[in-house]
């Protein structure tokens, strides 16, 4: 049975917490952005305040085995600062029996990077490039077998399990999903996970209407799952960014050198048809800012999305388009934003994306709309522009949020709920 972090009695318990401390490090192994560590602090502090001891586990990067550059030792100082207590470190997550046994209440032990072991992900490593299908199958079976002991060992350190790693909730890994079954009555979500789940539910579960989704980014192919799933809850869908040109070309428009996935054009037309059937109003960027080169200092002008001359490409939403979108957004009670509506990495073409962030802040602050920014670059955009605190929720999990919005069941969530 799933427990609740607010009511669970942590006193005298050793609590193993899966966090996502996969933070970016520079060449001196200094943390360049500690957002992910800070995001786990409320959960970690709660356990300590309520009289428990913490065993923290995480991955860092994508090591193919033990490697100094991916060691979690690099981040211990920051964890200590944020928790305000000394932190112990076990340099091998499978050899922490003693350290865990000696841990006293109020103390903190961090385990070395889980992904130093192939068993964490359950995927074989070091297979020869010319390995046969048989060999691949055997290697996979072997790692799945040894994964059982790996999970059991991690579970043996603690009395209770918390999953607070939303960023890896879409992976059925040892520490994110498999471990939960060892704690049938002592498993729960941390505050970060709870926040993400609640935010997703406020959009997909029982949202306040009207609901508008803004879907931007580069490719239709990577967003198709979300678009189709959102049709079930949305009243309006704003489609912007590079992906819009696949729709325009499919409808017979001239898109010049704009980004386009020719093979997705039939699908684009199908999406428009489905939207009509489901009564979802689609807003494609009508007037766009075009440029004569994909460059930050390219010459630019405004034109209709279907009349882009040869040698020019669509780079951003034009002010007239933003005006139309603004009206839709300010009339919405629930807004989901995924993906920038222009090439926001170039300041000259970031105006549309910036404006969306401003409008979302206004919808949240003045209209009381619930606004969720989720998935990859739109999160970067909203944070970069200082709007993260002015919207209702900014998701911390790129891939996990995308899969949740596609309606998939995330293994990390299911394992705790089961």
CA distance 418 to 405: 21
The answer to whether residue 386 is catalytic is no
Residue 392's nearest CA partner among 207, 226, 189 is 207
To ligand AMP, the closest distance from the beta carbon of 37 in angstroms equals: 24
To ligand AMP, the closest distance from the beta carbon of 223 in angstroms equals: 7
To ligand AMP, the closest distance from the beta carbon of 267 in angstroms equals: 16
Q: Which residue of the set 88, 153, 219, 274 is catalytic?
A: 219
- Which residues in this chain contact ligand AMP in the complex, by CB under 6 A? 216-219, 222, 241-242, 259, 314-315, 339-340, 342-345, 376-377
The answer to whether residue 36 is catalytic is yes
The answer to whether residue 219 is catalytic is yes
Burial environment of residue 347 by CB neighbours within 10 A (0 to 12, 13 to 18, 19 or more): exposed
CA distance 37 to 108: 15
Task: Decide whether 259 or 416 has the Cβ nearer to ligand AMP.
Answer: 259
State the number of CA atoms in the 13 A half-sphere of 361 facing the CB.
14
Q: Which residue of the set 216, 376, 397, 412 is catalytic?
A: 376
Task: Decide whether 219 or 229 has the Cβ nearer to ligand AMP.
Answer: 219
Task: Decide whether 101 or 295 has the Cβ nearer to ligand AMP.
Answer: 295
Contacts 24+ apart (CB under 8 A), 63-69: 63/113, 63/115, 63/116, 64/125, 64/126, 65/116, 65/118, 65/125, 66/113, 66/116, 67/116, 69/25, 69/29
Task: Decide whether 154 or 317 has the Cβ nearer to ligand AMP.
Answer: 317
CB atoms within 10 A of CB 107: 18
Sequence-ordered list of residues with C-beta below 8 angstroms from that of 370, at least 6 positions apart, any chain? 202, 203, 207, 208, 333, 334, 335, 364, 392, 393
To ligand AMP, the closest distance from the beta carbon of 326 in angstroms equals: 19
Q: Which residue of the set 14, 36, 115, 390 is catalytic?
A: 36
Residue least distant from ligand AMP (Cβ) = 217
To ligand AMP, the closest distance from the beta carbon of 374 in angstroms equals: 11
Task: Decide whether 112 or 377 has the Cβ nearer to ligand AMP.
Answer: 377
The answer to whether residue 125 is catalytic is no
Kindly list the catalytic residues. 36, 219, 376, 399
């Amino acid at each position: 049975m799933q427990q609740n972090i607010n009511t669970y009695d942590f006193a005298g318990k050793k609590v193993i917490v899966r966090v996502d401390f996969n933070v970016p490090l520079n060449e001196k192994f200094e943390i360049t952005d500690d957002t992910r560590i800070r995001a786990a602090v409320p959960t970690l502090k709660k356990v300590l305040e309520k009289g428990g001891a913490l065993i923290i586990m995480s991955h860092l990067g994508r090591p193919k085995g033990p490697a100094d550059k991916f060691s979690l030792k690099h981040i211990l100082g920051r964890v200590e600062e944020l928790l305000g207590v000394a932190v112990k470190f076990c340099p091998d997550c499978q050899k922490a029996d003693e350290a865990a046994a000696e841990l006293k209440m109020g103390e903190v032990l961090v385990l070395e990077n889980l992904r130093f072991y192939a068993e964490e992900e359950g995927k074989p490593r070091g297979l020869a490039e010319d390995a046969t299908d048989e060999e691949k199958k055997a290697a996979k079976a072997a790692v799945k077998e040894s994964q059982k002991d790996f999970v059991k060992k991690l579970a043996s350190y603690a009395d209770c399990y918390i999953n607070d790693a939303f960023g890896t909730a879409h992976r059925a890994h040892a520490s994110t999903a498999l471990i939960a079954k060892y704690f049938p009555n002592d498993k729960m979500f941390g505050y970060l996970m709870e926040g993400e789940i609640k935010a997703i539910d406020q959009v997909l579960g029982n949202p306040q209407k009207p609901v508008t989704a803004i879907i931007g980014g580069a490719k239709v192919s990577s967003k198709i799952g979300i678009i189709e799933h959102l049709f079930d809850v949305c009243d309006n869908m704003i489609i912007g960014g590079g992906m819009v040109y696949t729709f325009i070309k499919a409808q017979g428009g001239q898109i010049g050198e704009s980004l386009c996935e020719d093979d997705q054009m039939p699908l684009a037309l199908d999406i428009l048809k489905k939207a009509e059937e489901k009564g979802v109003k689609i807003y494609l960027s009508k007037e766009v800012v075009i440029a004569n080169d994909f460059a930050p200092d390219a010459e630019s002008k405004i034109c209709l999305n279907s009349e882009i001359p040869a040698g020019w490409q669509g780079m951003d939403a034009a002010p007239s388009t933003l005006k139309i979108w603004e009206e839709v957004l300010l009339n919405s009670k629930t807004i989901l934003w995924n993906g920038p509506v222009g090439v926001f990495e170039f300041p000259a073409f970031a105006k549309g994306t910036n404006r969306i962030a401003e409008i979302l802040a206004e919808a949240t602050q003045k209209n009381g709309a619930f606004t969720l920014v989720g998935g990859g670059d739109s999160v970067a955009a909203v944070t970069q522009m200082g709007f993260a605190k002015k919207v209702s929720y900014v998701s911390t999990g790129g891939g996990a949020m995308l899969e949740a919005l596609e309606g998939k069941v995330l293994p990390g969530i299911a394992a705790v709920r089961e």
